[in-house]
Amino acid sequence: MSTPWHHRYAQRTQRMGSSMIRELLKLTQKPEIISFAGGLPAPEMFPVEAFEAATQRVLRQHGSQALQYSTTEGYLPLRELIVEKMGRYGIEASVDNVLITSGSQQALDLIGKLLINPGDLVLTEQPTYLGALQAWRAYQAEFSTVPIDDDGLRIDLLEEALCGGPKFMYVLPNFQNPGGVTLSYERRLALIDIADRYGVPIIEDDPYGELRFEGEHLPPLVVLDADKLNGRQYTNHNIPNSYFKGNVIYMSTFSKTLAPGLRLGWIVAPASVIQHCVMAKQGMDLHTSSFVQMVAYEVAKDGFLAEHVRQIRQVYRERRDIMLAAMAEHFPPGVRWTTPKGGLFLWVSLAEEMDSTAVLQEAIAHNVAFVPGATFYPDNDQQKNSFRLNFSNATPEQIGEGIGRLGQVLEKVLTPVPV
Ligand SMILES: Cc1ncc(COP(=O)(O)O)c(C=O)c1O
C-alpha cells in the first residue's frame, strides 16, 4: 500500500510554498529569453583556472584529510581569513565568533532554528530577501514589515512596528536585495539606537557590501553596535578597533565574490551564539564540505580574493550603467527605478494600479524576464506594481537588447486600450 504522504507532513510544511523565483527560472531557461530574473553572478567572472590549480594543491598537500569528516565550526585557516577580511571593515572578531555555513542561506535557516518559535514575530524590510522569508516561514514565523525608500529602512516607521514585539529584525544595509538601496549612515546610527532602546537584536545580512561601485564605504551595523557598547564614535578615516560584542548577528557569503556553487557563507556572532549554531548545524549537515572550504581558502588567500573583487566591481558597475542608460532611453514616462551604488539588483516601480505579474507574462512573450515585486513581500498581496531587475548576469549586449524589449512591453501595457 502506498503511503498518503500529505497526511503525514508536519504542520510547518503548510507555510512552505515553492518559490516563484524557482518556478520562473525554469520558464526563463529557454535560450531565446534574456533573463534579468535570477540573482546570478556573471559566470565569466568565476576564476575557473584558479580553482583548478587550487584543487590540485589541496589534494597534493592535504591528501585524504581534504576528503575526511571535519569540525562543524569550519576550516580554521578559512575562518582566520574571514576574521582578517572582516577586520578591514572594522568588524573585530576572533575565530570563536565565526561559523562557516553552507551558503548564507544556511545561516538564515540556522537563525530560524535557533530563534523562532511557532508564531514568533520577525520584523523585516518591505520588500525583503525572499530566501529569508522561505527559511523562516518553515519555522512558523509571523512577519511584520517596515517599508524602505532610497535611503533604506524607514526609521521613522520603525518604533511603531517594534511595539508589536518582534523577536528580531532582519536588515540588509548594503545594496538591498531586491531594492538595490543602501541604508544611510544617519539611519544606521538611529537603527542601532532604537534596537538598543527596545532590546530587539538585529540580523545583518550583507552579501553585497564588498561590491560597492562608488561612494564611501559605510560601517556595518555590527561595528556601530560595538562602538555604541564601547562608547566610541566611528569615523570613516579611523576604522575603530572595536571588539565583537553583539546585539547584531552578521552574515555574509563567498557566493557573490568567488562563486555561488561553492555554497560557502559565514556567521559572525558572540561565541555563545556560535556554539548554539554549531549544535543546530550538526543536525543539518554535520559540517560544510571540508574539501570545498580548503579549495576556497587556497583560491582566496594571498590577496587573490581582494584583487578579484576589484575586477567584479568594475564589470558590474559597467553593467549597471548600461542598464540604467538603456532604461532611460527605452522605458516610458512614469516608470521609476532605484539607482544602486553597488550589488546586483535594481527595483522598478510602475503606476500603482499596475500588476507586474501580468506584465511578466507579456515580457516572457517578448523573450525577456524579471521577478515580480510581490514575491518579496511577506504578504504577497501588497504592492503588485514593482519588479526586480538583475544586472550582473547578462552580458552588456544582452542588457541593451533585453531592456529594449522590456521598454516595448511597458509601452504596450501602459498604453490605454481605446474603447
Ligand atoms: C540578501 C541575501 N541573503 C542571502 C543570500 C543567500 O546567498 P548564499 O546562500 O548563496 O550565500 C542571498 C542570495 O542571493 C541574498 O541576496
User: pLDDT: is 211 or 17 the higher one?
Assistant: 211
pLDDT digits (tens, 9 = 90+) for 150-196: 999 999 999 999 999 999 999 999 999 999 999 999 999 999 999 99
The pLDDT of residue 217 is above 90: yes
**Separate counts of helices (H) and strands (E) for the chain:** 13, 14
Pocket test for ligand 1, best of 19, 125, 170, 177 (most atoms within 8 A of CB): 177
CATH topology of domain 5-47+306-414: Aspartate Aminotransferase, domain 1 (3.90.1150)
pLDDT computed for residue 233 by the predictor: 63
Using the mean position of ligand 1's atoms as its centre, give its distance from the Cα of residue 408 in Å: 31
In the chain, where the domains are located: 5-47+306-414, 69-303
- pLDDT value at 42 more than 90: yes
Q: Which band of pLDDT confidence, cut at 50, 70 and 90, is reported for residue 330? A: very high
Distance 108 CA to ligand 1 centre (A): 9
Ligand 1 centroid to residue 104 C-alpha, Å: 6
pLDDT of residue 417: 64
229 falls in which pLDDT band (50, 70, 90)? confident
Q: Buried (b) or exposed (e) across 21-44, using 16+ Cβ within 10 A? A: beebbeebeeeebbbbbbbbbbee
Q: Is the pLDDT of residue 306 over 70?
A: yes
pLDDT of residue 11: 86
Centre a 10 Å sphere on the Cβ of residue 104 and count the other Cβ atoms it contains: 26
Instruction: Kindly give the distance from the C-alpha atom of residue 137 to the centroid of ligand 1, in angstroms, as a whole number.
Output: 16
Atom from ligand 1 closest to the CA of residue 264? 11
In angstroms, the first-to-last Cα distance of the chain is: 59
Which of 304, 312, 307, 308 has its CA nearest to residue 57? 304
Judge if 5-47+306-414 and 69-303 fold alike in CATH terms.
Answer: no
What CATH number has the domain spanning 69-303? Answer: 3.40.640.10
Rounded to two decimals, the pTM is 0.94
User: Does 357 score more than 80 pLDDT?
Assistant: yes
Beta carbons of 325 and 404 less than 8 angstroms apart = no
> Ligand 1 pocket test: which of 104, 109, 125, 257 has the largest number of ligand atoms within 8 Å of its C-beta?
104
Q: Kindly give the distance from the C-alpha atom of residue 191 to the centroid of ligand 1, in angstroms, as a whole number.
A: 22
Alpha carbons 337 and 227: distance in angstroms, whole number: 34
The ligand 1 atom nearest the CA atom of 256: 10
For residue 167 the three cell numbers come to 523577536
Percent of the chain with pLDDT over 90: 80
Ligand 1-lining residues (CB < 6 angstroms) = 39, 103-105, 129, 131, 172, 177, 205, 207, 253, 255, 260, 265
Cα separation, 62 vs 403, in Å, equals: 48
Average pLDDT, the chain: 92
Instruction: Find the 105 Cα to ligand 1 centroid distance in Å.
Output: 6
Q: pLDDT exceeding 70 applies to what percent of the chain? A: 93
Residue 340 in this model has a pLDDT that exceeds 50: yes
Nearest atom in ligand 1 to the alpha carbon of residue 172 is: 1
What pLDDT score was predicted for residue 237?
42
- Residue 374 has a CB neighbour count (10 Å cut-off) of 20
Is-contact 392 316, C-beta < 8 A? yes
Give backbone dihedrals phi and psi of 129, rounded to 5 degrees, phi first.
-70, 125
